[in-house]
């Protein structure tokens, strides 16, 4: 897998620069985050700066105009690099990451007036980086005090992220290739974890198997906190404690995907403990699988995520009636939203550099039609909590979700995670391999 080439990063920057006109845009990178006392979380770059540069280091700010790309980065520092790792520095920002000019991040306050002076428009998103916000406000005030001397100052402020997010919504061929590779790693990880679904095994053992594959195959780790929920834990949508012991007859909901080159895979499968789906858990699984198929049946260029959701909801409600979880007519149950006691989330979201990726879900108040290059998930589920007031006794403690990653093509779609089995016979055979 080649990943994203320097030429593609350069083309992305050029697209942004063409939209700026006579304005200037500031895109800050992420900062290190404290985990506890003097330890930090593993650094992960801001997705927008990553999209435009592929720059992996903290404390960076990119400034773009139609004419140039100016990069402020941490300078080379032998002492700090001994403690915290190598830095590209100012030289590397130009030679490796395509900047026209580069400076130490410490020079940003002094050089902001030069960048903003006589620019009628500033593209900056306030609220993302408090320190940069303060520097921008100070610089604007400084420039406005010089108006009588003929110094121009931005009169309009827009968000550059609106432009970048429009770009990120449609994936290039190279991006899709990375996401295909991420899906394959996630397939291997699910295989490793699924085959551990035996009575007496602990949820964290499955989590460890997932993460071992993620890292051994070149991923940076999980794209989000991995969910491994057995029994009633599977009915908690964002259960991440992963500390219970598997019991015979349960199902285990595993929602886990790798992050590769910054791109997320987002996959959910629900596996039987002991290798076979049994009893009510089997019936619930079949209902969710049917709902996902109904959702896939409406996917085509021009369809909307709302249409996909509505198709899944109708089939899920039909299933809930058959299971005895709901009573009444399907149309009336949908209109009343009584189904939300057991299905409370949407059926999909955009996917890319972020697990819940950027992109407008509606335009002009109407659901947005899907277009080639858009990536999204399809993830219906049913959740019968053991302590839910409306949960029938025989369904208590059963949670099932099935989730796949999809990219729209010119004439249809590709399911990136299709190689991960989900039909009952396929799953049961897969777990026996």
Identify whether residues 32 and 70 lie together within a single domain: yes
Tokens of 201: 């095994």
Residue 411 has pLDDT above 70, yes or no: yes
Domain end, chosen from 102, 134, 167, is at: 167
* Same domain flag for 301 and 369: yes
pLDDT reported for residue 148: 84
Last residue of a domain, one of 115, 134, 167: 167
- Phi then psi for residue 354, to 5 deg, are -110, 150
Distance CA 302, CA 290 (A): 23
pLDDT for the residue numbered 423: 98
Residues 74 and 98 reside in one and the same domain: yes
The reported pLDDT for the residue numbered 48 is 98
The residues carrying an active-site annotation are 38, 238, 255, 266, 345, 349, 356, 379, 383, 401, 403
Whether residue 1 is contained in a domain is answered as no
How confident is the model over 208-225, as a mean pLDDT?
Answer: 98
Residue 383: inside a domain? yes
243 located within any domain: yes
Q: Do 185 and 67 sit in the same domain of this protein?
A: no
Structure tokens at 213: 């594959």
Q: In what order do the strands lie in the sheet with 263-264?
A: 221-222, 258-260, 263-264
Residue 244 belongs to some domain of the structure: yes
- Identify whether residues 158 and 206 lie together within a single domain: no
Backbone φ, ψ for residue 271 (5° rounding): -105, 150
Distance CA(117)–CA(140), nearest Å, equals: 9
In b/e form, how buried is each residue of 372-387, taking b as 16+ CB within 10 angstroms? ebbbbbbbbbbbbbee
Give the count of domains, the chain.
2
Considering the domain boundaries, does residue 355 fall inside one? yes
> What pLDDT digit, counting tens, does each position of 310-367 carry?
999 999 999 999 999 999 999 999 999 999 999 999 999 999 999 999 999 999 999 9
Element (H, E) at 216: helix 203-216
Is 139 inside a domain boundary? Answer: yes
Which structural domain range is residue 146 located in?
6-167
Boundary-marking domain end, from 167, 200, 230: 167
Q: Which is it for the CA torsion 419, 424, 425, 429, positive or negative?
A: positive
Contact 254, 228 (CB under 8 A): yes
Domain of 232, CATH number, reads 3.90.230.10
Length of the chain in terms of residues written: 433
- Domain match, 161 and 200 both: no
Question: Span 123-129, mean pLDDT?
Answer: 95
Alpha-carbon 118 to chain mean position: 38
Do 289 and 154 share a structural domain? no
Domain co-membership, 281 together with 386: yes
Q: What is the CATH number of the domain that holds 63?
A: 3.40.350.10
Same domain, 275 and 321: yes
What pLDDT band is residue 1 in, cutting at 50, 70 and 90?
A: low
How do residues 367-376 score in pLDDT, each as one tens digit?
999 999 999 9
| Statement to judge: residues 187 and 239 lie in one domain | yes
Q: Do the domain assignments include residue 39? A: yes
Are 387 and 238 within one domain?
yes
| Position 18 in a domain | yes
Confidence of residue 147 (pLDDT cuts 50, 70, 90): confident
Query: Are 22 and 158 contained in the same domain?
Result: yes
Average pLDDT for 385-389: 95
What's phi and psi for 362, nearest 5 deg?
-140, 150
pLDDT band at 304 (very low <50, low <70, confident <90, very high): very high
- On average, the pLDDT of the chain sits at 97
43 pLDDT more than 80: yes
């Amino acid at each position: 897998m080649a990943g994203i080439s320097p030429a593609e990063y350069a083309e992305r920057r050029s697209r942004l620069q063409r939209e700026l006109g006579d304005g200037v845009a500031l895109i800050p990178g992420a900062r290190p985050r404290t985990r506890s006392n003097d330890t930090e979380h593993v650094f992960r770059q801001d997705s927008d700066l990553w999209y435009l540069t592929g720059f992996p280091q903290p404390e960076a700010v990119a400034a773009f105009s139609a004419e140039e790309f100016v990069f402020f980065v941490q300078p080379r520092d032998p002492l700090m690099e001994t403690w915290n790792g190598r830095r590209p520095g100012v030289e590397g920002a130009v030679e490796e990451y395509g900047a026209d000019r580069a400076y130490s991040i410490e020079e940003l306050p002094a050089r902001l007036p030069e960048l903003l002076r006589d620019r009628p428009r500033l593209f900056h998103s306030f609220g993302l980086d408090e320190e940069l916000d303060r520097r921008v406000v100070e610089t604007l005030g400084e420039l406005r005090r010089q108006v009588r001397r003929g110094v121009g100052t931005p009169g309009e402020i827009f968000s550059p992220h609106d432009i970048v997010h429009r770009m990120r919504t449609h994936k290039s061929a190279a991006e899709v290739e990375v996401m295909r590779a991420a899906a394959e790693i996630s397939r291997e990880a699910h295989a490793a974890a699924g085959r551990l679904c035996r009575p007496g095994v602990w949820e964290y053992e499955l989590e460890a198997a997932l993460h071992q594959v993620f890292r051994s195959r070149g991923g940076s780790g999980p794209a989000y906190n991995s969910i491994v929920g057995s029994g009633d834990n599977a009915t908690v949508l964002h259960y991440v404690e992963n500390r219970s012991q598997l019991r015979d007859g349960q199902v285990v909901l595993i929602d886990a995907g790798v992050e590769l080159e910054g791109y997320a895979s987002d996959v959910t499968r629900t596996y039987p403990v002991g290798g076979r789906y049994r009893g009510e858990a089997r019936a619930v699984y079949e209902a969710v699988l049917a709902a996902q198929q109904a959702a896939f049946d409406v996917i085509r260029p021009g369809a909307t995520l709302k249409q996909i959701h509505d198709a899944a909801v109708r089939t899920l409600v039909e299933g809930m009636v058959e299971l005895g979880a709901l009573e009444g007519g399907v149309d009336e149950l949908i209109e009343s939203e009584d189904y939300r006691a057991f299905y409370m989330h949407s059926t999909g979201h955009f996917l890319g550099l972020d697990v819940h990726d950027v992109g407008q879900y509606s335009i002009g108040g109407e659901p947005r039609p899907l277009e080639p290059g858009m990536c999204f998930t399809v993830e219906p589920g049913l959740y019968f909590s053991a302590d839910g007031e409306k949960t029938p006794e025989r369904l208590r403690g059963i949670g099932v979700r099935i989730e796949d990653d999809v990219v729209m093509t010119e004439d249809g779609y590709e399911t990136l995670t299709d190689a991960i089995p989900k039909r009952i016979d396929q799953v049961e055979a897969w777990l026996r391999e």
